[in-house]
Structure 1
Amino acid sequence: MNEFFTDGITNKLLGCYVGGVMQDVVLVRIYGNKTELFVDRENEVKSFRTLHAHRCAPRLYCTFNNGLCYEFLQGQALEPEHIRSLPTSRLIARQLAKYHAIHAHNGWVPQSDLWLTMGKYFALVPKFFQDPEMNMRLNSEVPSRRRLREEMVWMQQSLSVLGSPVVLCHNDLLCKNIIYNQQGENVKFIDYEYAGYNYQAYDIGNHFNEFAGLNEVDYSHYPERSLQLQWLRSYLEAYKEHKGQGSEVTETEVEVLYVQVNRFSLASHFFWGLWALIQAEFSTIDFDFLGYAVLRFSQYFKMKPEVGALHFPE
């Protein structure tokens, strides 16, 4: 039996099983059109295997030219209202801390790929669309290439000096990539296409942006300060435990992470804005990628002065 699972806007996902009951399901993911331009498939497989070795990912059975095949995790893919609820958000915070505490091999000090990847994405952004209506929207609603380039330079200069550690990140922690298992009362993350070494604060800021949802995007759901502080405290307690640094977390540590995360949430808007412009050109999936890019860039410019006004504790 086959069943399409996909809610994704990058790939097609197919569940295969024998008989009429969904036992021992194997998932087959078929990569979206031209996604190899902006997804490093070798890196995805490497991340998959590393995460499985640390019991953070399902088993990868095999890879083929345009996809891969892996173990199905029993559980429920979450909706935006779930990730916004306190008990679940605490589970997510602690699981993400476990990811981030996976140490790089042989004392290697990892560097973030963020700026390099963003530069690659920027180079892939279409200068025009064949479709006249899309082209008009590109010219009237999306910031100019010059403006985008200026913002990328500004971000690299101002965010890379915030002192956020570089850790193994998921980089795409939207609700559909979080599987909640009721029996075990735990969450697991799936889909490691964008996983890699990146700033800790980026991964968290990216997740907070996903509180807004994907199909009916509403940024009024971005977590308010009090919820963020609870989330960040749970995260830091688990992160320090995994790193063998005790679990005492100070107010100052939480406040510092709060500033870093909210500033890095800008980079997440920008990254997915560029990504959506590329997808608008190549994807065969029925989704308004251009509209999504406009939303992400608008939110970037709206948030920039707000997060710029945040200060580190004295």
Structure 2
Amino acid sequence: MANYIHVPPGSPEVPKLDIALSDVDGPGCREGALQLLRRLRPHWSPEEVTLQLFTDGITNKLIGCYVSDAMDDVVLVRIYGNKTELLVDRDEEVKSFRVLQAHGCAPQLYCTFSNGLCYKFMQGEALDPEHVCNPDIFRLIARQLAKIHAIHAHNGWIPKSNLWLKMGKYFSLIPTEFTDEEVNKRFLSDVPSPQILQEEMAWMKERLSNLGSPVVLCHNDLLCKNIIYNEKQGDVQFIDYEYSGYNYLAYDIGNHFNEFAGVSEVDYSLYPDRELQDQWLRSYLEAYKEYKGFGTDVTEKEVEVLYVQVNQFALASHFFWGLWALIQAKYSTIDFDFLGYAIVRFNQYFKMKPEVTALKLPE
């Protein structure tokens, strides 16, 4: 199995609760959350519980539950978005969560329930594009990503990437039309035809699979808001492991570099320039080698190889999220212009393609 994730022995079991939460805007949501808390925090008095809705996510709904204003113990309740089971393998997500938790790279996972999961809130600030280009912060991010990538596969097993499999699945789910006439017109005029998309996928698979990027455990969705920076402790942690799994190391970094542009107001002039990338990639390679026990000496050539791999794999990231956004445009109930986002990602893919394919790996 390409995406086999092995949970280390001795990892705490995660209870599955037979509770479903209604939409966050409905009156049943509080009752459902309290039902979960009766199991997870039996000593909390229901009338003292505060629910706070977080509005950053565009896949799921997220609620913080706590009893004291100090917020020293916050249970996060995440309700899966409509039809997101088409996009996310929930069993794999829980396995990834548990593997990362076992290696000190994720918060405690308290339980899963019928349409979501609960986990420990991480103290700190979710980042924005202006933070991820700050050298003090991006070195921490590079180091944390290297730590995850260095988690070894079980018993020397050699993992394979499931990127092309997943992309093919997403491609099979994209809508062919929209019922709203205006939306449909925009879809037909601004989104590449299925034939063009299929040709690009075949080209990418052939080109990128042969770049020599190792397959490692990846986060696969390292957008700014999924990075929590704790200034007091001087560290960063990543959240949301829905898309985690074995993938090309360079994809994970290229995907993160694309996210420098932001999500709601996308601006690709913020994509990191060569100088920033060189610093970032060097910090990453030093940490990766250290975690792997290979010393910390990094050559110019190693940085150059990774630079070429990362910028070419950034194409696959645009394409992946373009397909994802088309599916969300059809099914999601979250107020976000998913079709517009898909168009932006595909446009950037075609804009970047000649530039990054001109890059050559050093001899």
Counterpart position of 1:270 = 319
Is 1:47 aligned to residue 105 of structure 2?
Answer: no
Q: How many residues get paired?
A: 314
User: For structure 2, which runs of at least 5 residues remain unmatched after alignment?
Assistant: 1-49
Amino acid paired to 1:197: Y
1:1-314 correspondence to structure 2 within 5 Å: 1-314=50-363
Amino acid paired to 2:273: E
Query: In structure 2, how many angstroms separate the alpha carbons of the residues matched to 1:129 and 1:162?
Result: 38
Q: SS state of the match for residue 14, structure 1?
A: strand
Q: SS state of the match for residue 118, structure 2?
A: strand
CA shift for structure 1 position 277: 0.1
Work out which of the two has the higher radius of gyration on C-alpha atoms and give 1 or 2. 2
CA shift for structure 1 position 65: 1.1
TM norm structure 1: 0.99
CA shift for structure 1 position 86: 1.1
Bigger drift between 3-12 and 293-302 goes to 3-12
Query: In structure 1, how many angstroms separate the alpha carbons of the residues matched to 2:298 and 2:130?
Result: 28
CA shift for structure 1 position 107: 1.0
CA shift for structure 1 position 78: 0.5
**Aligned-residue identity in percent:** 74
Amino acid paired to 2:186: R
CA shift for structure 1 position 106: 1.0
Amino acid paired to 1:216: E
Query: In structure 2, how many angstroms separate the alpha carbons of the residues matched to 1:138 and 1:4?
Result: 32
TM norm structure 2: 0.86
Per-residue CA shift, 1:128-149, capped at 9, x if unaligned?
0111111111100000000000
Large movers: runs of 4+ above 3 Å: none
Query: In structure 2, how many angstroms separate the alpha carbons of the residues matched to 1:279 and 1:72?
Result: 27
Amino acid paired to 1:298: N
Q: SS state of the match for residue 117, structure 2?
A: strand
Query: In structure 2, how many angstroms separate the alpha carbons of the residues matched to 1:157 and 1:298?
Result: 21
CA shift for structure 1 position 85: 1.1
Amino acid paired to 2:89: D
Amino acid paired to 1:25: V
Per-residue CA shift, 1:185-209, capped at 9, x if unaligned?
0000000000000000000000000
